[in-house]
Amino acid sequence: MDITTVIEAQNLSLTFQTNDGPVHALKDVSLTISKGDFVSFIGPSGCGKTTFLRVMADLEQPTSGAITVNGVSPAEARKARAYGYVFQAAGLYPWRTIGGNIRLPLEIMGYSTPEKTERVNRVLELVDLGGFEKKFPWQLSGGMQQRASIARALAFDADILLMDEPFGALDEIVRDHLNEQLLALWDRTRKTIGFVTHSIPEAVYLSTKIVVMSPRPGRITDVIESTLPRERPLDIRDTPEFLEIAHRVRDGLRTGHAYD
């Protein structure tokens, strides 16, 4: 397996100036993500996990420290369309069909028409939405909409997929199903995934690396390398190994809270 570094953050800090004084969203965060990693960021609200992801995506500018994405700055990586970003809400355009929504980034990036068609069909198959191309978003369930938004992020073949609580608004059953599909997709496409979540089982089930964060100031309290195999059926969640990792994550979250 190739072990080139995809994302490297060193002593990254980000302070927001607000009316109530400065908020330390990130403080001295250092992390290395290798190619093909599935990295989850877990922690309570305000721990900076989303901010960290947004810094990688060049949606926020760090106050100090250094970060590279694919060896270049996040701004250059964004310009090179190095990553696909999946937001908490699907954010599909209601006036475009599912196919039209997936075609949107391809239009922006100037792909040719036959290539657009080919890619739309391919990613729709990838997220199990074949045949839904002509449907409008409101005709799909929440889980299907989120799958379409993942397809949209995959359409232009970025090596990195950044996901900000993509399944946060979905119910447990749909979530389990999508987690399973996401793992299969990650296995097939060999992408590097950054995944923000609130859920311990979700983080442990999906990740090769779990980054535990805590708030005020936002920082990393623990980085756990998963010992679970790459192949993960849903019932792996009942194994002692899984529970042990989950336990360590919970411990990490608790230590983070000991300050307040």
Q: Which residue has the tokens 């699907």?
A: 90
Query: x/- contact string, 90-109, with other proteins (CB under 8 A)?
Result: -x-xxxxx------xx-xxx
Q: Is 259 in the site for other proteins (CB under 8 A)?
A: no
Out of 81, 190, 254, 257, point to the residue binding other proteins (CB under 8 A): 81
Q: Give the nearer residue to other proteins in terms of CB position, either 134 or 247.
A: 134
Does 73 bind other proteins (CB under 8 A)? Our answer is: no
CA torsion sign for 10, 3, 159, 41 is negative
Q: Is there binding between residue 72 and other proteins (CB under 8 A)?
A: no
CB-count exposure of residue 236 (10 Å: 0-12, 13-18, 19+)? middle
CA angle 25/214/34 to nearest 5° reads 85
Strands 83-86 and 160-164: parallel
Q: How far apart are CA 31 and CA 67, in angstroms?
A: 9
Q: How many CA atoms lie within 13 A of 34 on its CB side?
A: 8
Q: How far is the CB of 104 from other proteins (least distance, A)?
A: 7
The least CB distance from residue 136 to other proteins, in Å, is 4
Cβ 125 to other proteins, closest distance in Å?
22
Q: Which is nearer to other proteins, 95 or 259 (CB)?
A: 95
In three-state secondary structure terms, 184 is helix
Count of chain residues binding other proteins (CB under 8 A): 25
Residue 79 in contact with other proteins, rule: CB under 8 A: yes
**Interface with other proteins (CB under 8 A), residue from 38, 41, 52, 83:** 83
The letter for the amino acid at 166 is P
Written as one letter, the residue type at 221 is: T
* Binding of residue 190 to other proteins (CB under 8 A): no
Give the three-class secondary structure for 31: strand
CA–CA separation, 28 and 26 (whole Å): 7
Is 59 a residue that touches other proteins (CB under 8 A)? Answer: yes
**Contact status: 16 vs other proteins (CB under 8 A):** no
Binding pattern for the stretch 198-237 against other proteins, x by CB under 8 A and - elsewhere: ----------------------------------------
Is 168 a residue that touches other proteins (CB under 8 A)?
no
CA distance 103 to 8: 31
Question: Scanning the structure block, which residue is given the tokens 């992020």?
Answer: 153
Going residue by residue from 140 to 159, which x/- string records binding to other proteins, judged by CB under 8 A?
----------------x---
Q: Which position has the token pair 């996401």?
A: 182
DSSP collapsed to 3 states, 75-104: HHHHHCCCEEEECCCCCCCCCCCHHHHHHH
- Taking the complex as a whole, the smallest distance from the CB of residue 190 to other proteins amounts, in Å, to 21
Provide, rounded to whole angstroms, the least separation between the CB of residue 54 and other proteins: 8
Which residues form the interface with other proteins (CB under 8 A)?
Answer: 57-59, 78-79, 81, 83-85, 87-89, 91, 93-97, 104-105, 107-109, 136, 156
